[in-house]
Amino acid sequence: MSISQFPPPASPSPASSVRLWRPAAQRNLRNQWLKLSTCRKQWIAACSVGMSHANSLVNSYLSQTFVPLMKFGVLSDMFDIKKKALNKLYKQQSSYRDKLLSSYKEMVAGVVEMVNVSRSMRCYMKSSSGSIIQFSCSKEDSDDAGDCGGITVFSFWNICWRFEKMAEELVEMFKHEVMLKRLLMMELVSLCAEVPQPAKLSWADELYQGEFDDLSKCSLYSMEVSEPIFPILKEDNLCITSVSRTNQPTAEMLHIYLITWAAEVNNDTHSSSGSFSGRSSSACSSTSDCQNNSFDAEELLQIGSRRMELRKEKDLLRESQPHSIELVRSLELHTKSLSETRLEDTARIRTMEKELLSCYKEIDYLRDQLIFRSKEVSYLNEHVHNLECKLAESGNLEEEVNCLREELCLSKSEHLLLLQELESKETELQCSSLSVEKLEETISSLTLESLCEIESMKLDITALEQALGDAMKIQEESIEEKEYLKRIIKEIQFQSQEAEENAKSFEKQNEDLRERIAASEKSIKEFFQSAKARFESENGQQPLNAECFFAQLRHLFPVSSEVRDCFDAIIKRLELSRNITLIDKMEGMGQQIQLHEDLVKRLKEELKQEKLKAKEEAEELTQEMAELRYKMTCLLDEERKRRVCIEQASLQRIAELEAQIKRETNKRSSTEILPLSGL
């Protein structure tokens, strides 16, 4: 609401109504400025919480982009490890997105409350039938402008041109900043690492239900175009355009977004803190009456000079805003300088937070003083004539006031020192908690690695057991084959023994046959010689007689009856032909004897070859068994050494982690003991 919307100031009220209106207006201004202070605290808290959620959201998004290129080492053997990691990061991103939206909603609610408070600075008279005059913040009479005819509330300042204008300026700063935060929110909420990227939010979309209603209360929603008013910035100053893009921002752009969120470009913290302190000091000046106008005038001059200085600083900041935007653009090209500027910004934010804390303490103290002084004012209004009598003692009162102010300054300095110590201890506690979280993460990663190594060792053991089973099967088969070969060798040896015995018997028979044949050959030769001599005799006087022949033949060797009959037939035919068949039979018997001897030699050679083959196969089997035993012993030794190394490494790592955790606990206990000793 601007000042031009109010009607022109009405005619001055009577003296009684003016005298009653001023305390009511002062009380209303104090209450409204206290409400503005609480809204500002709410804004700062929501902004800091939103900054942490935005940082976590950006980190989870960047981690999703880095997961496909990461090397998990031993964990890569786990089933769908990358997919599980991406799902976990996506859930974290969605939770941080919801938290960031809730923080933005709190900021918008704070701005709406600021707007309502800035419109409630005036004090209106209630229409009542009685003689008691009452006041309220709501307008009931159309002729009542709420400023009691433009009279001053605190010394020389009226509501319209001082307090209400300053409140509107502060609210405008927060309006511009909340629209800039909405622009950053659109980019951060639309972050998505999925390959089929969904459509990004447009400027006309609601970030939460009822957002446009809240923005319309702050005059930040345009009903003509049905979308919120775009922030007053040059196009693409922050690498953001009003039209939604399909490309996702880079890491440098996200870094710039976070810096812009933390910097609060549109909020002039010095002027806002000065405004709140100025309003508090003006509220404190309400305790003085008309006779202390000189003291109030000096204080007002100081406040006016301070306001002029703050306005000059504000103009300088507005003039330097394009230069800061150019610096933000140059930050995209110079990533190294970003870290330095970020450190400077964090230091500046810390100093600003310290100043804000001191301002809050001063405001609380001044609030207590205002309550006390309001009671004194009511008492002084009732006993004005007593104050006129005690003007002579005002000098002593001023000295006491100066002493009290000096004591207040000392207490403030001591309080600031204590606050600084508390902040340092809080930072140390946060660092220790972060280190503990990191240690827990390392312990979890080590446990995962040990579990993976145990699983791999189990797989190796199962493979070794399978290889051992296969080796045992091969050993059993080789033993069975060896036994089978032993049986075959025994059978062959038995057969060879039988063949040797048969050969010996055959040799004996052959020797007997040879002896008989030799004897028979001798007798036959003699017989043939005698027979030849008889057959070749030419006188023919001695006829061939069978009985004489057999007698001679019997004389040589015994002859059976069958042989005798045969020789009878032979002798009968000897006159016609020679005895050629007998010679053929003798030659055939000699050939058979030779064949038997060759067969015996061949059997002996085959027996020797079978024995050599059996010996070679037995030697090969024993060599294979020795090699298998050697391999099994080597594998078992290697596995034992590997397990011993893994156990030693895990024990050493666990000991290091325990020592580190003990150090952290000792540090934490020491940090807890120090503030107690200081107190």
Long-range contacts of 630-634 (CB under 8 A, 24+ apart): 632/468, 632/471
The enclosing H or E element of 125 equals: strand 124-125
**The domain boundary residue, chosen from 337, 362, 389:** 389
Of 21, 282, 20, 275, the residue nearest 145 (C-alpha): 21
Please state whether 80 falls in left (phi above 0), alpha (psi between -120 and 50) or beta: left
| Residue 477 covered by a domain | yes
| Residue 241 covered by a domain | yes
Of 222, 192, 216, the residue nearest 204 (C-alpha): 222
Verify that 213 and 348 share a domain, yes or no: yes
Give strand pairing partners of 154: 157
Residue 79 in this model has a pLDDT that exceeds 70: yes
Q: What is the pLDDT of residue 194?
A: 64
Mean pLDDT, to the nearest integer, of 397-421? 83
Residue 136 in this model has a pLDDT that exceeds 60: no
Verify that 171 and 24 share a domain, yes or no: yes
Verify that 146 and 286 share a domain, yes or no: yes
| Residue 253 covered by a domain | yes
Verify that 381 and 504 share a domain, yes or no: no
What would the two tokens of residue 499 be? Answer: 């063949």
- 488-544 pLDDT, tens per residue? 878 877 877 887 787 788 778 778 877 877 777 777 667 667 766 665 554 444 444
Verify that 134 and 216 share a domain, yes or no: yes
Q: What is the pLDDT of residue 574?
A: 53
Mean of pLDDT over the chain: 71
| Residue 446 covered by a domain | no
Give residue 572's pLDDT band: very low, low, confident or very high (50, 70, 90).
Answer: low
CA 466, distance to chain mean position in Å, is 37
In DSSP notation, 363-425 reads: HHHHHHHHHHHHHHHHHHHHTHHHHHHTGGGHHHHHHHHHHHHHHHHHHHHHHHHHHHHHHHH
One-letter amino acid for residue 43 of the chain:
W
| Residue 402 covered by a domain | no
Choose the weakest-confidence range: 64-78, 96-110, 451-465, 596-610: 64-78
Residue 61 in this model has a pLDDT that exceeds 60: yes
Residue 583 in this model has a pLDDT that exceeds 70: no
Verify that 151 and 259 share a domain, yes or no: yes
Verify that 77 and 221 share a domain, yes or no: yes
Contact by Cβ (8 Å): 557, 520: yes
Residue 218 in this model has a pLDDT that exceeds 80: yes
CA–CA gap between residue 526 and residue 190 (Å, rounded): 136
Contact by Cβ (8 Å): 256, 332: yes
| Domain containing residue 616 | 455-667
The enclosing H or E element of 151 equals: none
Verify that 355 and 459 share a domain, yes or no: no
| Residue 369 covered by a domain | yes
- Collapsing DSSP to helix, strand or coil, 460 comes out as helix
CA–CA gap between residue 439 and residue 92 (Å, rounded): 21
Residue 253 in this model has a pLDDT that exceeds 80: yes
Q: What is the pLDDT of residue 677?
A: 45
CA–CA gap between residue 416 and residue 158 (Å, rounded): 34
Residues 6 or more apart whose CB falls under 8 angstroms from that of 408 comprise 365
Verify that 204 and 105 share a domain, yes or no: yes
What would the two tokens of residue 611 be? Answer: 């024995």
Percentage above 90 pLDDT, the chain: 0
Choose the weakest-confidence range: 115-119, 333-337, 557-561: 557-561
- 82-102 pLDDT, tens per residue? 788 888 888 888 888 899 898
Residues 6 or more apart whose CB falls under 8 angstroms from that of 85 comprise 67
- Collapsing DSSP to helix, strand or coil, 264 comes out as coil
What are the DSSP E strand ranges found in 223-378? 227-228
Q: What is the pLDDT of residue 579?
A: 47
CA–CA gap between residue 550 and residue 557 (Å, rounded): 10
| Residue 398 covered by a domain | no
Q: What is the pLDDT of residue 473?
A: 84
- 150-187 pLDDT, tens per residue? 555 555 444 445 567 777 788 888 888 888 888 888 88
Contact by Cβ (8 Å): 121, 1: no
The enclosing H or E element of 136 equals: strand 135-136
Percentage above 70 pLDDT, the chain: 62
Residue 263 in this model has a pLDDT that exceeds 70: yes
Give residue 475's pLDDT band: very low, low, confident or very high (50, 70, 90).
Answer: confident
Where is pLDDT greater, at 572 or 58?
A: 58
Verify that 278 and 380 share a domain, yes or no: yes
Q: What is the pLDDT of residue 163?
A: 65
What is the largest distance, in Å, between two alpha-carbon atoms of the chain?
218
Residue 283 in this model has a pLDDT that exceeds 70: no
Number of independent structural domains in the chain: 2
Of 199, 352, 341, the residue nearest 274 (C-alpha): 352
What would the two tokens of residue 183 be? Answer: 């622009």
Contact by Cβ (8 Å): 229, 221: yes
The enclosing H or E element of 306 equals: helix 293-319
| Residue 371 covered by a domain | yes
**The domain boundary residue, chosen from 389, 406, 427:** 389
Of 253, 152, 525, 425, the residue nearest 245 (C-alpha): 253
Q: What is the pLDDT of residue 195?
A: 53
- 346-393 pLDDT, tens per residue? 888 888 888 878 887 888 788 888 888 878 777 767 776 666 666 666
Residue 273 in this model has a pLDDT that exceeds 60: no
Residue 395 in this model has a pLDDT that exceeds 70: no
Give residue 553's pLDDT band: very low, low, confident or very high (50, 70, 90).
Answer: low
- 295-346 pLDDT, tens per residue? 344 555 566 666 677 677 667 766 766 666 665 566 556 656 556 667 787 8
Verify that 462 and 365 share a domain, yes or no: no
Give residue 137's pLDDT band: very low, low, confident or very high (50, 70, 90).
Answer: low
**The domain boundary residue, chosen from 368, 389, 410:** 389
Q: What DSSP character marks residue 539?
A: S
Residues 6 or more apart whose CB falls under 8 angstroms from that of 469 comprise none
CA–CA gap between residue 672 and residue 420 (Å, rounded): 16
Residue 11 in this model has a pLDDT that exceeds 60: no
CA–CA gap between residue 676 and residue 673 (Å, rounded): 5
Distances (CA, A) of 536 to 278, 525, 653: 180, 16, 125
Verify that 119 and 26 share a domain, yes or no: yes
CA–CA gap between residue 253 and residue 263 (Å, rounded): 15
CB atoms within 10 A of CB 363: 21
Give residue 37's pLDDT band: very low, low, confident or very high (50, 70, 90).
Answer: confident
CA–CA gap between residue 561 and residue 344 (Å, rounded): 147
Q: What is the pLDDT of residue 144?
A: 54
In DSSP notation, 193-252 reads: --SSPPPPPPTTS-SSTTHHHHHHHTT-EETTTTEEPPPS--TTTTS--SSPPSSPP-HH
